Amino acid sequence: AGFGAVSTLAAGVVAVAVGGDFRQVGGSTPAHSIALWNGTWAALAAPPGQGLFASPLAAASYASEPCFGGFGEMHTGTGSIACWDGNAWAPLISAEIPAFTNALAASGNDLYIGGYFYPDPGSCCIRRWDGAIAHDLGEGTDSGPMSIFVDGTDVYASGWFGGAGGI
């Protein structure tokens, strides 16, 4: 009850992160597109200057924090991914972070990001963020992945693309 549409979920150490197009959770808790469930609902406000929470498209638990991705603020340079530390938002700010994020997956100390990078300083459209630098994954994909799954050292991506890694 209270959900309009849920577009992304991520199970974390502390809570389940939920993103989508909704205005309340749990039947009575006002929320604007993002919430956490840890036995009770908690609504999170969008980060200042971040436009990605019009409707988040991706979520992942990275470094024990829920992170969300979506439409970024290209003109402000804040990127399209922000993480909640329990008290405040921390946007991932880097020229290597996409202006539009539609897939996230965390594994160990790495966050895998699928999206559209403007300008594109390397491969399109998937990268591995190590906490400081985004690294190209081979030749990338020719369009942004809709989902990413990591199993050990293997990275799987799905979406509307015609080629990946030069294939």
Question: For residue 104, how many C-alpha atoms fall within 13 Å in the half-sphere facing its CB?
Answer: 32
Q: pLDDT by residue (tens digit) across 3-26? A: 577 788 888 767 888 888 888 888
79-104 pLDDT, tens per residue? 688 888 888 777 776 666 666 788 99
Of 62-66, 151-155, 158-162, where does the model show the most confidence?
A: 151-155
Amino acid 99 reads A
| Token code pair at residue 34 | 């993002």
What are residue 53's phi and psi, to 5 degrees?
A: -90, 15
Q: pTM, whole model, 2 decimals?
A: 0.83
Contact of 123 with 134, CB cutoff 8 Å = no
Is the model's pLDDT at 108 over the cut of 60? yes
CA 11 – CA 1 distance, rounded (Å): 20
